[in-house]
Amino acid sequence: MEVLLNVRVDQEKRAAKLALMTLKENLEKVLGFALDLEIDWDFTNHSEFTMKSLEDQSKIIRAIYQTHFPRVLISNDGSVTRV
Task: Give 27-66 pLDDT, tens digit per residue.
Answer: 888 888 888 888 999 999 999 999 999 999 999 999 998 8
Helices and strands in the chain, H and E counts: 4, 2
Q: pTM above 0.85? A: no
Report yes or no: 16 and 60 within 8 Å, Cβ to Cβ: no
Q: How buried is 15 (Cβ within 10 angstroms: 0-12 exposed, 13-18 middle, 19+ buried)?
A: middle
Distance CA 83, CA 69 (A): 9
Report yes or no: 68 and 19 within 8 Å, Cβ to Cβ: no
What stretch of H or E contains 21? helix 7-31
